Amino acid sequence: MSGHEKDHVDFASDMDIIVKSESSFSTLEKPFGALVGAGLPLFSLAGGLVRKVLYDVLTSFHINRGYRVIETPLIASAELYKVSGHMDYYKDNMFVFTIEDKEFVIKPMNCPHHILIFANVLQKYRTKVNLPFRTFELGRVHRYEPSGSLYGLLRVRGFTQDDAHIFVSQEQVKDEMVKVFEEIRELYENVFHLPVNMHTIKLRLSFANLEEVGKYYAGTHEEWTSIQEFMRGVAEEIRDKYGIEYYEGVGEAVFYGPKLDVVTRLGDLGEWQIGTIQFDFNLPRRFRLVDLVERIYGSDMQIHMIHRALLGSIERFLGLYLEYTGGRLPIVLNPIQVLIVRIYTGKDDIDRKIAENADVVYERLKKAQVRAARVDADKVTLSATIRDLESRVKPSVYVFIGEREINEMSVNIRYYDIENKKHISIKEKNNDLTSTVEHIIDRLEEKTRNVLNARFRIYEDLEYMV
């Protein structure tokens, strides 16, 4: 043993999800990381595919739950963040630059753009717009982090949030926040097979240090006190409903309001924040949404904003997930979903049949948009071949085709049960191999398919990876 335990960066690079920053672009004699810049992960081919499938899953998940999909620019006028208050409270984390004497920023947060879109919708369609009004974006943001604090995919400078903003009246806030927690549960359990319970997550009630209200936090002492009390009520309701405890983190709030953060301990890397549910009573005022709503709905309507992300940063979530699973992804996201192993014998007629059968399975799966690949082995090399594939691409399903499978028309399949973290073997006689494979894939995809009311399959030829 080398003593070097693989971490999520190794796993992600083995699966061709990312290009390792320290690996070298040989002819330029420079590491890739030096060319792309620190904290800016370079996703590779399988990574591009995983992201695409995940984006489809997340987009569909949100549309089904009443969110409106939007997409906003990566660069914005600094003016926008002056109105929002980020230039006062958050400037140290922002990349700010000047073009033609005008100040611009690289978008550090999507919220201000979402407010602009909501304001426009409201002005245009007036009382036809119903609350809660939900905007969703796979929003790419960039924030300055000191180079010493950067770490793999977990702490980066550029990342993508599954970000949404919910515009609500006072009476709707609590129900809507509890509903967001239910969405977190649905997504984690059904797409990632990650049970949501007191062993996997904790909730941090992120409060302001009340002595610093006015300095680091916008609003008044009284407002913070009463809204934090309200948030405690939300945390208690979630605790009672889902059995998940919360703890208070004083000084962890954002400048516009308190938050309820999902903190997880996946793998051995300690605790990391992933999802979040935030109460914002400041930005609607700063953007004068309060006045706009009053003008349209009358003065008895009070508007608030909930900022929320289910996974948080997609990069961080993937990194933690790979740590937790030892480098595995659920079948829906796995680049190599099925691996067909041809176990050759050296006997021509048998080997020809093995190859033919492997091709039949491969073509059927391809037609069904399943990403399969074929590899060769023989009785002697078989276990080494499997070990090698398990150390790199970790297919969800193995299909073995050798002499016995040909002669006895038997099925020999092994698949990975990600929920229980174990391999399961199926050996049956006189059964149709392709139907059995398809049936297993169907079952592995079932939870995700049910929660999304759709099948998420994208075929891409990744056979070169094995």
Tokens of 391: 């150390």
Within 10 A of 271 (CB to CB), how many other CB atoms are there?
A: 11
245 in Cβ contact with 239 (< 8 Å): yes
Residue pair 352/441 in contact (Cβ under 8 Å)? The answer is no
Q: 3-class SS at 337? A: coil
What gap in Å lies between CA 458 and CA 296, rounded to an integer?
A: 45
Residue with tokens 């999520």: 8
Give the Cα separation of 339 and 399 in Å (integer).
Answer: 6
Rounded to whole angstroms, the Cα distance separating 52 from 40 reads 18
Residue 307 or 371: the one with the smaller Cβ distance to Zn ion is: 307
Question: How wide is the angle at C-alpha 397 spanned by C-alphas 395 and 398, nearest 5°?
Answer: 90
Measured N-to-C along each axis, helices 111-125 and 289-297 cross at an angle, to the nearest 10 degrees, of: 20
- Tokens at residue 392, please? 């790199």
Least distance from Zn ion to the Cβ atom of residue 157, Å:
18
Which C-beta is closer to Zn ion: that of 143 or that of 307? Answer: 307
Task: Name the residue nearer to Zn ion (CB basis): 309 or 373.
Answer: 309
Q: How far is the CB of 300 from Zn ion (least distance, A)?
A: 26
Identify whether the C-beta of residue 339 lies closer than 8 Å to the C-beta of residue 466: yes
| Shortest spacing between CB 139 and Zn ion, in angstroms | 9
CB of residue 17 vs Zn ion: minimum separation in angstroms? 27
Nearer CB in complex with Zn ion: 88/236: 88
Rounded to the nearest whole angstrom, what is the least distance from the CB of residue 298 to Zn ion in the complex?
27
| Residues found near Zn ion in the complex (CB under 5 A) | 111, 307
Which lies closer to Zn ion via its Cβ, residue 111 or residue 393?
111
Q: Could you give the CA distance from residue 304 to residue 171 in angstroms, rounded to a whole number? A: 10
CA dihedral 378→379→384→390, nearest 10 degrees, is: 80
Q: Residue 110 Cβ, how far from Zn ion at the closest point, in Å?
A: 6
Residue closer to Zn ion (CB basis): 137 or 351: 137
Q: How far is the CB of 184 from Zn ion (least distance, A)?
A: 16
Q: Kindly tell me which of 157 and 307 has the beta carbon lying closer to Zn ion.
A: 307
